[in-house]
Amino acid sequence: MKTEAEPVAHRDFLFEIGAEELPPKALRKLSQALESEFLARLQAAGLEHGEVASFATPRRLALLVRELAEQQPDRKVERFGPAWAAAFDSAGEPTAAARGFARSCGVPVERLGSKLRQGAKKLHVSLVEPGASSTSLLPQIAEESLAALPIPKRMRWGSSRAEFVRPVHWIVMMFGEKVVNAEILGEKTGKSSFGHRFHHPQLIELGHPRDYEQALQRPGHVIASFQRRRDTIAELVAEQAQRLGAKANIDGELLDEVTSLVEYPVALTGRIDREFLDLPREVLILTLKHHQKCFCLEDEADELIPHFVTISNITSREPGGVVKGNERVIRPRLADARFFFESDKSRGLASCLAELDAVVFQEKLGSVGAKSRRVARLASLVAEQLAVDPEPCARAASLGKCDLVSDMVGEFAELQGLMGACYARHDGEPEAVATAIFEQYLPRHTGDQLPATPPGQVVALAEKLDTLAGLFAIGEPPTGSRDPFALRRAALGILRILIESELELDLAQVIDQALAGYPELEIEPGCQQRIFDFVLDRLRAWYADAGLAAQIYLCVRELRPASPLDFHRRVQAVADFAAQPEAAALAAANKRVSNLLAKSPGESEAGEIDMKLLSENAERQLVTRLREKQAEVLPLFAARDYRQGLLRLADMRDEVDRFFDEVMVMVEEPAVRANRLCILRRVRELFLHVADVSLL
């Protein structure tokens, strides 16, 4: 213990874990997780620091923490000892109890004071407990951070009991110019890293953490920063395209993967046979992307040209040989794709219908063929509600899953829907049918495009609703982190299609129709309600992301509008109303009215307001204003102009406030009391045409 806090020094800290090639699709996630886990533990330990830089290559994960405190901050503590009366004898000399307490605190008896505690005067001393040094804390912080990384399956290597995503070969841990001595994942920490596996496989001695990035690049031939390497690759690909007077088709997912595969990127351009350009664009792109991690090039008209760009991890003495090697591998891949494409076209899409009965959709829900028939039936019903021609909708739904048994989709699952549309056009199906086959899967992810055609919207809704109905019917809704059929995404997709495309659909009714497609299942009571609530609950996060308070969503949720578009319009109206200066007072008044009506059930439910029982000016004024507002806003509500209706109801604030200030509602006379409750009920009913604003 010490009595005064001292200034804490700071140094840069470097942590690097070197391993065999890390899984490329997980590299960025591992790097981000290491940074977040490490920083969370530094914060929990109270260790101050400056900027943080993370690094990730195929062979390493690293963190550079600037200006990390050398130790935890000192902590002020209070210690209490024996009662003051027992601490000193009659001569004023400290007793054994006082001396023992002083000794345990590491201070002389003269430093002891007194302080009341729980009503008793006790010995007391204020001390400063020094924080632990960073060097003593960092090894454990590193081990805990590595253990917390999202690694589904860990490996062991050699005779070590250590486990990591790949075998570890070196660990760097430096605090300033000194090594933080420890053993992590079976390796002793040091200050030596390694460069590029081929260009500079030798040790790289690091003098200081700040030298890390520069030392790895020269002489190490390693661009350690993931983002810098990613930007470099994008620039290199664009440069290669410009040399050919073309532009690069840079897919973000592919760019991330290639960045995770190389430490020192070098761009090379190769050729493909022009005959392969007859393949559908997406087929060509996916073949090059999946098998060779290559980028396609386009002309000014966005048409693919017979060239590709590949990223090598070395500067080769014979780059032409590297290019030819890639071309040799790509050619048979594209030849296979062309064979699949021609084979699929030759048999036609409709011929695949029978095969769908042999493909399992879900063990309890039958085959994909059965699902297609259910979706076709449901699509016809949805089309009727949306005033869309049901014929192309049903046809697209029937053929929609046929491409799942095609050779091309068997090779590239990402092409489902797209190849179905392509084959439908080849077979002479109407364009509306072909487009709907592709659009049934939209939106595929957050921010994805929506179906743009009415048949596509109908089939997409029916497809998602059928899946939701089936999984809920067999008691398999999503759990905390488990959602194998992506039901949350399906629910959000339904909402986006209906709201953003402004489609008025009774969702509760359609869910009933979807459940009716499973006559063989014993569906529990309340299943429709659970599905409906599940879908509406997706809106809460949606509105939260848009910056709307949860209370605004809950106000509308209380009324449970059957149409998501109607729900959305009400939310927008309440949001505008809540921004008005009168909103808080009217919300409070609605809450008060709600409580009064709850205490007197039945008294105000029947009959009309009796004008002869109005004895107070305030109640007469409120009734007059109420009738004016009824005539004014009810037509607006009927026309779904909720915003304008609510804003006009804001004018009632003065009359409502005066009523509560001057009128006693719960009087003894039953008739007068019931009449006044009836007035309040009618006021509240006006607001309930839109939402329960009392929840604001």
3-state secondary structure of 125: strand
Please give the share of the chain, as a percent, with pLDDT higher than 70: 98
Give me the residue spans of the domains in the chain. 10-72+133-217, 76-129, 226-347, 351-545, 571-695
Mean pLDDT, residues 672-679: 85
| Mean pLDDT, the chain, integer | 90
CA-closest candidate to residue 337, choices 291, 406, 279, 422? 279
pLDDT per residue as tens digits for the range 459-495: 999 999 999 999 999 999 988 778 889 999 999 999 9
Distance between CA 649 and CA 684 in Å, rounded? 11
- In this structure, what are the phi and psi dihedrals at residue 443, rounded to the nearest 5 degrees? -80, 140
Convert the pLDDT of each residue in 339-381 to its tens digit: 999 999 999 899 999 999 999 999 899 999 999 999 999 999 9
Mean pLDDT of 384-409: 95
pLDDT tens, position by position, 498-523: 999 999 999 999 999 999 999 999 88
Q: In this predicted structure, what is the pLDDT of residue 649?
A: 84
Inter-residue contact 651 to 629 (CB < 8 Å): yes
Question: Which phi and psi (to 5°) does residue 91 adopt?
Answer: -90, 0
Phi, psi of 60 (to 5 degrees): -160, 150
Judged by average pLDDT, the poorest of 28-37, 101-110, 242-251 is 101-110
Does residue 390 contact residue 397 with C-beta atoms inside 8 Å? no
Helix axes 454-473, 431-439, angle to 10 degrees: 40
Confidence of residue 602 (pLDDT cuts 50, 70, 90): low
Rounded to an integer, the average pLDDT of 153-161 is 87
| pLDDT at 601 (0 to 100) | 67
pLDDT at residue number 78: 82
Right CATH number for 351-545 from 1.10.8, 1.20.140, 1.10.1740, 1.10.3210? 1.10.3210
List beta partners, residue 175: 13, 178
Q: What would the DSSP string read from start to end of 645-659?
A: HHHHHGGGHHHHHHH
CATH 1.10.730 is right for the domain spanning 571-695: yes
User: Measured in Å, how far apart are the chain's first and last C-alpha atoms?
Assistant: 53
For residue 606, pLDDT beyond 80: no
Residues 6+ positions from 598 with CB-CB distance below 8 Å: none
pLDDT score of 509: 95
> Would you state the pLDDT for residue 313?
94
- 597 vs 601, 602, 670, 694, 696, CA distance in Å? 6, 9, 14, 13, 18
pLDDT at 605: 61
> d(Cα 627, Cα 647) in Å, to the nearest integer?
16
Tokens of 476: 């398999």
Q: Which of 214-228, 466-480, 511-525, 584-598 is predicted least confidently?
A: 584-598
Identical fold, 10-72+133-217 and 571-695: no
Query: What's the pLDDT score for residue 615?
Result: 82
* pLDDT greater than 80 at residue 331: yes
Compute the average pLDDT of residues 235-256: 94
Res 384 pLDDT > 90 = yes
Across the range 118-137, mean pLDDT stands at: 84
Answer with the residue of higher pLDDT: 589 or 39: 39
Residue 409, number of CB atoms within 10 A of its CB: 22
Is residue 190 over pLDDT 60? Answer: yes
- 3 pLDDT more than 50: no
The structure's pTM equals 0.76
- CATH number 3.60.15.10 given to 10-72+133-217: no
- pLDDT, residue 668, reads 81
